[in-house]
Structure 1
Amino acid sequence: MPWYEDSRGERLRYREQGQGPALVLIHGWCMSSAVWSLQLDRLSARFRVIAPDLRGHGDSPVGSGECRLETFCSDIIDLFRYLDLNGAILAGWSQGAQVAVRAVPLLQERLSGLVLICGTPLFTSAADFPHGLAPAEAQGMALKVRRNLKRALEGFVARMFVPGELAASGREEEIRALLDAVPVPETAVALQSLASLAEADLRKQLAAIDRPTLVISGEHDPICPSAASAFMAKRIPAGRHVTYAGCGHAPFLTRCDGFNAGLADFSREVRGAYV
């Protein structure tokens, strides 16, 4: 895995495979670039697929910045500048979708499109946003992390899939091996990034996104409900919502072939207008 240098002069890791239009994939909370293995392997024949390890995740060190949304966003912008990416598709999953939304205003001239996968503009529910988790649930996640991070992550991963989804994918062993390969971050990293996820409210930023946006959700996602994706798609001027029936929080794993084909179709559709 190569390194790139951020604006602080610190080095962070990323994966890169293939040639062609750039497709940048941002992982979610306590994950790493390893979760995109099925995209790196299968889309690299047509795309330059780039998947960074966010600060404190995977093989990227924590460095001098806190592992929060603002720092992750700054690091992604530095990645684009370091690699001089233009006309790229930026795709973020779960917390990575929040990073992508936050980064768009500073990357607009370098983007041809945006893909938000099982994300939400507001992780916890509010009086005017019923599409999130109960605040007590987010607090419970933090308590589990403090008690035993490894066990908390095992429970989180198990919750990503609805009953029978992994078996029906035909790739259960491959997906489990892929997720087992994700390094466990430090507890402080997990807590910082979880707090940032729970505190962020990106609803007002959606209307300012001026690139074609594909919003993807799992029909039965228990972490970032499909209704949150529908909310985003309605408020992004060029937003489109696609739901994967029978899926939970990671359709890019269990519906890999359809997901990859949809991503390729979206890229072909939008990139010509902005490259």
Structure 2
Amino acid sequence: MKQHLKVRGINIVYDDYGSGETIVFIHGQPFNRSMWDQQVAVFKNGYRLIVPDLRGYGESDMPSGMTLLDEVALDIIHLLEALQIRKATFVGLSMGGQVLFELYRLAPHLCHALVLADTDAKAESVQSYQARLQLSQDLLAKGMQFYTDQHLHQFLGKATMAGKSAVVAHLRDMMVNTNPLGASLVQRGRAERRDHTGLLPDIHCPVLIVVGEEDGFTPVEVAKGMQARIKNAQLVVIKDASHMPNMEQPEIFNHHLELFLQGIQ
């Protein structure tokens, strides 16, 4: 059920489904909470699901300045406090996974388990830092339609692009309808993100790492590198998927998520 709550000066819109152990789903960029629809449909019957639109995305309010990832993590922490949720399993994809590193740094006591999908713990390089700043400017100057036309194919695998028109349409709709200001502010903030590789050995809750086999943004080798640094982390590589395996191969993604959840009960 759709809800909203003012958190740290921002009206956060979120879905709250089901009952039981809590799972919090954190979307990537430039998307919104609907990217988790295929997970919500399955897991709302056995768990309580909290699925927010992050600040500047979807139906949530626009921030007044640069969106740092620790600010987004604090939004989630305060939202859960307001909902009197003291522990949860967190599932984050891409930027959502980077938010989870900040969340764990700030509030490890909240984390029953982490699912890190198609993400990377490293900070930006000198080159990628400049690229983020340029992208932040381009999103405002050229708009989301231009960005979507140029980059949509990079988020999805070949089989998805060729044979899953509904997935392509859903992704396109999310991207085109993202507010360019919100996306620009996040890109500026992501340029400044911390390097969390040093945090990885200190993550002491169960961790599942998921990556699409064709992901060019955060390749399989990046996922393997994180697995090597996080004690007892599990790794799943999903075939015929790129950066959005939860949408491209939802049955496989959900199967491995359910196995993970059952194993940490």
Q: State the TM-score, normalizing by the size of structure 1.
A: 0.85
Structure 1 gap ranges (5+): 127-132
Q: How many Å apart are 1:213 and its aligned residue?
A: 0.5
Aligned residue type for 2:143: L
Q: How many Å apart are 1:159 and its aligned residue?
A: 1.2
Partner residue in 1 for 2:226:
232
- The whole-number CA distance in structure 1 between the counterparts of 2:83 and 2:62 is 21
2:241 aligned counterpart, secondary structure: coil
- The whole-number CA distance in structure 2 between the counterparts of 1:160 and 1:261 is 22
Aligned residue type for 1:98: Q
2:51 aligned counterpart, secondary structure: strand
Partner residue in 1 for 2:170:
178
Residues 66 and 192 in structure 1, CA contact (< 8 A), matched pair in contact too: yes
Aligned residue type for 1:148: K
Q: Which structure 2 residues correspond to residues 78-227 of structure 1 after superposition, within 5 A?
A: 78-122=78-122, 124-125=124-125, 138=132, 141-142=135-136, 144-150=138-144, 151-168=146-163, 172-182=164-174, 184-200=177-193, 201-227=195-221
Q: How many Å apart are 1:175 and its aligned residue?
A: 1.5
Partner residue in 2 for 1:255:
249
- The whole-number CA distance in structure 2 between the counterparts of 1:57 and 1:222 is 24
Q: % of aligned pairs identical? A: 25
User: CA offsets, 1:25-57, max 9 Å, x none?
Assistant: 100112110111111112212222221100010
Residues 16 and 49 in structure 1, CA contact (< 8 A), matched pair in contact too: yes
- The whole-number CA distance in structure 2 between the counterparts of 1:65 and 1:124 is 20
Partner residue in 1 for 2:6:
5
Q: Structure 1 residues 154, 23: CA separation in 2 closer, same or farther (over 3 Å shift)?
A: farther
1:23 aligned counterpart, secondary structure: strand
2:198 aligned counterpart, secondary structure: helix
Aligned-residue CA RMSD (Å):
2.3
Residues 121 and 197 in structure 2, CA contact (< 8 A), matched pair in contact too: yes
2:199 aligned counterpart, secondary structure: helix
Q: Structure 1 residues 107, 52: CA separation in 2 closer, same or farther (over 3 Å shift)?
A: same
Q: How many Å apart are 1:144 and its aligned residue?
A: 3.9
Q: State the TM-score, normalizing by the size of structure 2.
A: 0.88
Residues 207 and 236 in structure 1, CA contact (< 8 A), matched pair in contact too: yes
Is 1:18 matched with 2:18?
A: yes
Q: How many Å apart are 1:22 and its aligned residue?
A: 1.1
1:153 aligned counterpart, secondary structure: helix
Structure 2 gap ranges (5+): none
Residues 203 and 231 in structure 2, CA contact (< 8 A), matched pair in contact too: yes
- The whole-number CA distance in structure 1 between the counterparts of 2:65 and 2:103 is 17
Aligned residues: 261
Aligned residue type for 2:190: L
User: CA offsets, 1:106-157, max 9 Å, x none?
Assistant: 332232210000001126457xxxxxx8566545644542432221134332
